[in-house]
Amino acid sequence: MKKDKKVMNENQGSKGPYMVFYVLSVLLLIYMLFSLVTSYQNFVQYCDTYGVSPTEVWFTGFQSILAAAVPCVVYAATMYGIGYLIKRSHEQ
């Protein structure tokens, strides 16, 4: 009976609710790239404004860029994991 439901779901073309989480994880990774670029641009602008060399304060720049990237990676991994768990629960 489970196979009949599975075949019926595949025939209907339903991807399942897990696809929403997969799409969200991809969108978060795209946002992470955008955040990395803008953080780097802001860091360079900060250095130009205060007249310091980026190599002198590289750690500050590294921290700001990392602070923009890490939350997005964590959220994207969480969304992917939730989608994976939902997909696995529907397969069984």
Task: Give tens-digit pLDDT for 72-89.
Answer: 999 999 999 999 999 998
pLDDT of res. 6: 55
The residue among 11 and 27 whose pLDDT is bigger is: 27
Task: Give tens-digit pLDDT for 26-61.
Answer: 999 999 999 999 999 999 999 999 999 999 999 999
Domain definitions of the chain by residue range: 17-91
Q: pLDDT at residue 11 above 50?
A: no
In 4-25, which positions are buried (b, 16+ CB within 10 angstroms) versus exposed (e)? eeeeeeeeeeeeeebeebbebb
Q: Quote the pTM value.
A: 0.75
